Amino acid sequence: MALLEVIDLSKSFGETVAVDDISFDVEEGEIFGLLGPNGAGKSTTVSILSGILTPSRGKVVLAGMDVVHSPLAAKAMIGVVPQEVALYDELSATENLSFFGRLHGLSGPRLRERISSMLETVGLGERAREPVKRYSGGMKRRLNLAIGLLHQPKILILDEPTVGIDPQGRVRILEVVRREAESASTTVLYTTHYMDEAESLCDRVAIMDRGQILVQGTVHDLKMQAGQKDVVKIAGSFPDEDFASTFSDIAGSKVGTVKAEEMLISVDDAKGALPLIIDRLTSRGASIRKVEVEEPTLETLFIHLTGKELRD
Ligand SMILES: Nc1ncnc2c1ncn2[C@@H]1O[C@H](COP(=O)(O)OP(=O)(O)O)[C@@H](O)[C@H]1O
Ligand SMILES: [Mg+2]
């Protein structure tokens, strides 16, 4: 039995369907990625899993327990690192950890031991007594991660923990997550819109868009799937018109994002189709500066599935 089972889950806010009938399982000990662009429904899903929101429909089962019916028992097993950093700015890292540790029922020597161990893990030992308001964005995120891990949860849920921090801070957070999964065999659910992070970190992923899961599987299998298509990225300037049908006779073609200076087209065989693509574009008044064929990645798979890019 999987540690976490998400079954036919939906959540609406008025007319907005934020999560639309999704199902996935997370096995004990694995790192599972929930990927999708902004607005895909990742945070809403995380809030339901961690008992903050109740679903409109469907079920979440953690270690055999229904999260909606037994929120307290479930919460004890979950560590959450929310998208919005939740810290007391006037308090130090140690004081923040102490506060959140007590909420989870830790106290005395056990609490002190966990605090110093987590400060060490996230590399904040030396600045632990300073008020958090003096911390950089990356340090705050690391402290948030330490709080999520403090009570040794069975499953750690991280919601876009690397957004808005510098590359070094990002690497550091990924390292801690990886180490935690390996050495403490904590199960991890990781949401992100960075495909490269998911590729390097996750065992399995589900790709979400507009509340739905488009595909799920191991990173390897999904990359194989992505490899069956090519994505052509063209830089230049394009007339403001609809290109949707321009390449409809080219096998497997789909026009993705068209911006003022960039166009994405996915096709079965880029090499064969390139001359025709360039010819059609120039005859419609486009000027082309650069043409690239992208390597198959989760990012190109997402482009095939949605016609959109995931990145910011
Ligand atoms: N509390 C809320 N009230 C109304 N709409 C919401 C609320 N929370 C999220 N949404 C909407 O639900 C959709 C999914 O949002 P969210 O789960 O935050 O996506 P993600 O985390 O993938 O960016 C978006 O269209 C968002 O505007
Ligand atoms: Mg979000």
> pLDDT by residue (tens digit) across 222-240?
988 877 788 888 999 988 8
Is 307 inside a domain boundary? no
- 215 and 237 in a single domain? The answer is no
- 103 and 241 in a single domain? The answer is no
**Mutate-to-test residue for ligand 1 from 10, 11, 13, 80, highest number of ligand atoms within 8 A of CB:** 13
What six digits make up the tokens of 1? 């039995």
- 209 and 239 in a single domain? The answer is no
C-beta 42 within 6 A of ligand 1: yes
- 70 and 209 in a single domain? The answer is yes
Weakest mean pLDDT among 23-37, 77-91, 205-219, 227-241: 227-241
Of the pLDDT bands very low, low, confident and very high (cuts 50, 70, 90), residue 80 is very high
Measured from the Cα of 46, ligand 1's closest atom is 17
Residue bearing the CA closest to ligand 1, atom 12:
18
- 99 and 204 in a single domain? The answer is yes
Residues 6 or more apart in contact with residue 232 via CB below 8 angstroms: 264, 265, 266, 267, 270, 273, 274, 277, 291, 292, 293, 294
- 209 and 261 in a single domain? The answer is no
Higher confidence at residue 61 or residue 168?
61
Is 300 inside a domain boundary? no
- 58 and 132 in a single domain? The answer is yes
Residue bearing the CA closest to ligand 1, atom 27:
39
> Is-contact 247 284, C-beta < 8 A?
no
Nearest-angstrom CA–CA distance, 204 and 31: 7
What CATH number has the domain bearing residue 238?
3.30.70
C-beta 43 within 6 A of ligand 1: yes
Residue bearing the CA closest to ligand 1, atom 11:
18
Instruction: Name the one residue in this structure whose structure tokens are 């995380």.
Output: 46
Higher confidence at residue 68 or residue 309?
68
Give the Å distance between the CA of 19 and the centre of ligand 1.
Answer: 9
The count of structural domains within the chain is 2
- 141 and 170 in a single domain? The answer is yes
- How much is the pTM? 0.86
Domain span at residue 140 reads 4-219
- 127 and 251 in a single domain? The answer is no
Is 301 inside a domain boundary? no
| Top-confidence range, 162-171, 200-209, 228-237, 278-287 | 200-209
C-beta 254 within 6 A of ligand 1: no
Give the Å distance between the CA of 103 and the centre of ligand 2.
Answer: 25
Give the model's pLDDT for residue 173.
94
Q: What are the tens digits of pLDDT across the range 53-71?
A: 999 999 999 999 999 988 8
